[in-house]
Amino acid sequence: MQNKNSLIIFAILIATIYFTLQVITIGSRDIPVTYWAPKEEGCIIEISIAKEFIKDFFAYFGYGDGKIDVQFLKDNSIILQQSVQAAFYQGKIVPVNNIVDKIIIVTHGNNIEIKEIAARKDYKNFLNLTKAVINILKGSKYIGNPNNIVDEQSKMRTILNYRYSSYFDEIYHARTAYELLKGLPPYDLVHPPLGKWLISIGMAIWGVNPFGWRFVNLIFGSIVLVLLLILLTKLYKPSFWCGIAITILLASDFLHNNLSRTANIDTFSLFFVILCSIFGMSYINNMRYMREKLDRTDMVYFLTFSAGGLAFACKWNALYPIIPVLTISFGYKLYNIIKNNNKKSWILKTVKQGVLSILAFTIPYYLTYLPITIKYPYYNLPWAIISDFIMLQKHIWKYHSTLVATHPFSSEWYQWLLSTKPLWAYYDNLLPPNLRSSIAYLGNPVMWGLGLLAMAYLLVVAAKNPKNNLSLFIVIASYVSSIVPWIFISRIKFIYHYYLALPWLYIAVVMVIDNLNLKQSLKKKVAITLSVLGLIMLVIFYPAVSGLTVSAKYIELLRIMKSWIF
C-alpha cells in the first residue's frame, strides 16, 4: 500500500509538471475582440489606403458562416480578386504581391464576423491600416463599427500562429462548444456532445480564445497520466520504477502531447475509457477475491457501465476498447447470480441486471443530449426529449456510415502501428522560409514498436497459463478491440483513431519489464532507460508536435520516414 501511495504521489507530481510546462504555450487569450458583422447578403466595404506594395493580406474571423470576396485595386482597376472562406476564430492569408491603393470586401452570408484585417509589405513590416479610410458601399444592416476591423493591428502580426487561431478540427469542436455555451443551435452533432460541453467550460472561465477552448483538454490530458497508473495497479502490482515509467511513457508520447494541447474530443474519450477500465478492474478483482462487501461491489459495477456511457458520450469509437472489461464484468455478475440462485430466479435476475446495466450505460449518455433537445426541439415537447434523441443517433450513424471523403493525410489502421502516416494538422504561413511552425499528429515509432513486441510477448505468456493471467488477456483484448473494428470501417480514418489503444500499449511494455526473469536492479535500469529515452525523443520532436517555431532545416531533419510530411 505504501508503494502504491508513493507511486500515485509521483504520478500527480509528473502530471502537475506536464500541465505546467504545456499550459504556457497551448494558446493565447490576446486575440482581436471587436468586430464588424454584416447581417445581410452582399454587403460591400471599401478600405482606401496610400499606394503601397502589399505582399500578403490577412483576415481574422470570429463566429459565423460565410465567405468574403476580397478585391485589390490600383487606380480603380482590379488587379487581384480572391474568395476567402470564414472559419471559427481563424486567420486566413491571401498572397497579393502588388501595389495597391484600395481594398474592397464583399461579404456572402448574413452571419459572419470579421474581427480584423491586416496587410504586410514583407515578412517584418506591416501596413498601418488604422489610418485607412473605410466606407460602406452597400448594406445597412450590420453590427459593430466598420473601423473595428482595423483597430487591433498589433494583434495581427502573428495571427496565423496556432496560439491565436483555431486549426484542424477545432473549427468544428471549439465552435460547437461555443454554441453550447451561448445557447445557440449546435453545429457539430456528428459526434455526441459531452466533449464539446467540457470544452465550453474552458471558454466560460477564460473566454472565447485558443487558451480558453484548449484549457480543459490539457486538464484531462494531465489527469489521465495519474489514472493510467491507477489502472495499472488494478491489473497487477507493479514495481515502483515500472509504475513511474508508465506515467512518463504516456506523458512523453507524441500523440498524447498533440491531443492534450488542442480542442478535440478524443482526450475526453481516453479519460473516460481509462476511468471505466479502473472501475471494471476493481469490480473484477472484488469478485475474484471477495475483497469488498456485495453492496459496494455492485456500486463499482454500475460505475463501470456509467463511465463507459460517458466515454461513449464523447465519441462512439470509445466503446471499442472497453468492450472486454464491460463483457467480463457482466460475466462475473452473471456467474454470481447463477451461483447463488435457482434456475427460475437466476433467469429473472439476469434479465434485471442486464436492463440495469444498459440503463447505467445509457442514462449518462442520454443526459448529455437533454439540454439540446429541450432548448432546440425538432419535434414538439415533451416528446422531443425522446424523439429528437433517437433522431440524433440516426444522424450520427448515417453520417459516419455513408461518409465519402478524402484527405491527403488520412491513413489505414496498419499505418498507425509504427506511425508511418502522420496527420499534418497545422502550418504557419506568416513565417519566412527559413523558419517553421508546424504541428503533426504522429507517434513515436520506437516506443510504439516496443509496445507491439510487448503485446506479442504477453500473448505468449498468457497462452501458456491462461487460468492465472486474466489481467494479461484483458490488456491484450482491450488493445485488439481498439483496432479491429477500424479494419472493417470504410470511412476515412486518421492516426488519432489509434489514441485509445495507447494505454494498453504502454501497460504491456511495463508488464513485460516486470515479467522478465531479471534482477530487480536490472528491471529498474530498463524502466528508467525507457523513460529517459521517451523524454529525450519528445524533446527532439517537440517542435513538430507542438508548433514551436524553429528553423525549417531542423523540421526537415525530423522527417525520419519518407512518408512523414510536415
Tens-digit pLDDT profile for residues 69-108: 999 999 999 999 999 999 999 999 999 999 999 999 999 9
Tens-digit pLDDT profile for residues 445-498: 999 999 999 999 999 999 998 888 999 999 999 999 999 999 999 999 999 999
Angle at 15 between CA 12 and CA 19, to 5 degrees: 140
Q: How many CB atoms lie within 10 A of CB 205?
A: 11
Q: How far apart are CA 148 and CA 272, in angstroms?
A: 43
Burial class (CB in 10 A: 0-12, 13-18, 19+), 142: middle
Q: Give how far the C-alpha of residue 489 lies from the chain's centroid of Cα atoms, to the nearest Å.
A: 20
Q: How far apart are CA 7 and CA 242, in angstroms?
A: 10
pLDDT-derived band at 252, boundaries 50, 70, 90: very high
Q: How many CB atoms lie within 10 A of CB 548?
A: 16
For residue 93, the cross-strand partners are 58
Burial class (CB in 10 A: 0-12, 13-18, 19+), 184: middle
Q: How far apart are CA 261 and CA 71, in angstroms?
A: 36
Q: How far apart are CA 533 and CA 539, in angstroms?
A: 10
- Tell me the C-alpha to C-alpha distance, in Å, between residue 365 and each of 47, 117, 185, 386: 50, 42, 19, 13
How many CA atoms are closer than 13 Å to the CA of 134, on its beta-carbon side? 17
pLDDT in the model for residue 291: 64
User: pTM of the entire structure?
Assistant: 0.94
pLDDT-derived band at 1, boundaries 50, 70, 90: low
Strand bridging mode 142-143 / 37-38:
antiparallel
Q: How far apart are CA 45 and CA 147, in angstroms?
A: 10
Helices 210-235 and 170-182, interaxial angle, to 10°? 100
List the grid coordinates of 341. 440462485
pLDDT in the model for residue 294: 64
Q: How many CB atoms lie within 10 A of CB 352?
A: 11
- Tell me the C-alpha to C-alpha distance, in Å, between residue 442 and each of 202, 435, 563: 26, 21, 11
pLDDT in the model for residue 292: 59
**Percent of the residues in the chain that have a pLDDT greater than 90, as a whole number:** 90
- Average pLDDT of the residues of the chain: 95
Tens-digit pLDDT profile for residues 194-215: 999 999 999 999 999 999 999 9
Average pLDDT over residues 132-156: 95
Strand bridging mode 438-441 / 423-427:
antiparallel
Tens-digit pLDDT profile for residues 392-447: 999 999 999 999 999 999 999 999 999 999 999 999 989 999 999 999 999 999 99
State the amino acid at position 291 in one-letter form.
R
What are the start-end ranges of the E strands in 30-140? 37-38, 44-74, 77-85, 91-120, 133-138
Q: How far apart are CA 448 and CA 232, in angstroms?
A: 18
Query: Quick one: DSSP state of residue 380?
Result: P
Question: Phi/psi of residue 109, each to 5°?
Answer: 100, 145
pLDDT in the model for residue 293: 63
List the grid coordinates of 455. 503485446
